[in-house]
């Protein structure tokens, strides 16, 4: 009980928590720097990615908002899945629409941040593909993908009561929105021509990929929302015990 009380008290104060996060960041950065000495390009990218992702975390720690910190860490974890899925050739299984929805639903008081999180995750992964793989990270019509993710975040902002059935309905809507908008971008790029039959062919050809999209978003949505609320309840219960 004494240890829990001390930890919870530290989480209420920005300075000790900032010190803990700083020590963790320093240790991870040092490990990456040791790899950089071996001139590993991937290690350099990982360090830059780590530094980039730490900025919003430090900003949040100054505001002492643990709930948003938990949300952003979950979103970062899920975003990395896009790169992992690509490496294992599990295309369209990364829950990007669910990430956008989750950002909008949880971070309602900072709408700009809610929109930036899925867009930043998409951009970082695209940049990684462009620089360090043979996969084309940036291509014509990709703007529609980012628009679809912004739309998913917008749906999250409209979610009033995140109950299980409501979440599943919104995840399905976000996934469907991403399917419609992103594939329209593929059609606009002219790969199947600009006729009505070309538009129909675009969506028909995308159906097999949509199965992976909806599966990934459903699983990702459950893990994101479920993990967030579980972590929130655990922290709240420990905080109540510490105050008792």
Burial class of residue 43 in the structure, from the number of CB atoms within 10 Å of its CB (0-12 exposed, 13-18 middle, 19+ buried):
middle
Of the two residues 24 and 124, the one the predictor is more confident about is: 124
CB within 8 Å of 18: residues ≥ 6 apart: 58, 61, 62
DSSP secondary-structure letter at 92? T
Say if residues 60 and 72 touch (Cβ distance below 8 Å). Answer: yes
Look up the pTM and report it: 0.71
Which residue carries 């620089």 as its tokens? 131
Q: Give the per-residue pLDDT at 7.
A: 37
Indicate whether 24 pLDDT > 60: no
* Mean pLDDT in residue range 18-27: 54
Say if residues 242 and 5 touch (Cβ distance below 8 Å). Answer: yes
Whole-angstrom distance, CA of residue 184 vs CA of residue 201: 11
Among 147, 151, 153, 157, CA closest to 109: 157
Indicate whether 41 pLDDT > 70: no
Q: Give the per-residue pLDDT at 66.
A: 60
Q: Give the per-residue pLDDT at 180.
A: 96
Of the two residues 199 and 116, the one the predictor is more confident about is: 199
The string of pLDDT tens digits covering residues 150-193 is 999 999 999 988 888 999 999 999 999 999 999 999 999 888 99
Whole-angstrom distance, CA of residue 92 vs CA of residue 167: 20
Among 43, 3, 207, CA closest to 132: 43
The string of pLDDT tens digits covering residues 201-218 is 999 999 999 999 999 999
Say if residues 108 and 157 touch (Cβ distance below 8 Å). Answer: yes
* Mean pLDDT in residue range 112-131: 86
Axis crossing angle, helix 66-87 with helix 196-243, rounded to the nearest 10:
140
Burial class of residue 177 in the structure, from the number of CB atoms within 10 Å of its CB (0-12 exposed, 13-18 middle, 19+ buried):
buried
Indicate whether 243 pLDDT > 70: no
Identify the weakest region by mean pLDDT among 21-30, 53-62, 158-167.
Answer: 53-62
Q: Give the per-residue pLDDT at 45.
A: 55
* Mean pLDDT in residue range 135-156: 91
Phi, psi of 142 (to 5 degrees): -70, -20
């Amino acid at each position: 009980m004494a240890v829990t009380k001390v930890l919870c008290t530290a989480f209420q104060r920005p300075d000790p928590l900032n010190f803990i996060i700083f020590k963790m960041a320093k240790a991870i950065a040092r490990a990456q720097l040791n790899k950089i000495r071996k001139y590993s390009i991937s290690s350099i990218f990982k360090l830059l990615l780590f530094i980039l992702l730490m900025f919003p975390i430090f900003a949040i720690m100054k505001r002492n908002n643990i709930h948003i910190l938990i949300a952003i860490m979950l979103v970062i974890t899920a975003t990395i899945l896009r790169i992992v899925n690509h490496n294992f050739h599990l295309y369209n299984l990364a829950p990007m629409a669910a990430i956008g929805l989750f950002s909008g639903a949880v971070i309602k008081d900072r709408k700009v941040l809610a929109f930036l999180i899925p867009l930043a995750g998409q951009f970082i992964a695209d940049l990684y593909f462009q620089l360090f793989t043979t996969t084309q990270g940036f291509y014509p019509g990709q703007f529609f993908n980012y628009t679809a993710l912004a739309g998913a975040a917008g749906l999250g902002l409209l979610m009033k009561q995140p109950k299980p059935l409501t979440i599943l309905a919104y995840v399905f809507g976000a996934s469907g929105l991403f399917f419609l908008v992103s594939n329209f971008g593929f059609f606009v790029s002219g790969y199947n021509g600009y006729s009505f039959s070309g538009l129909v062919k675009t969506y028909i050809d995308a159906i097999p990929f949509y199965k992976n999209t909806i599966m990934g978003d459903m699983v990702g949505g459950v893990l994101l929302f479920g993990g967030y609320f579980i972590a929130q309840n655990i922290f709240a219960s420990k905080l109540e015990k510490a105050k008792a």
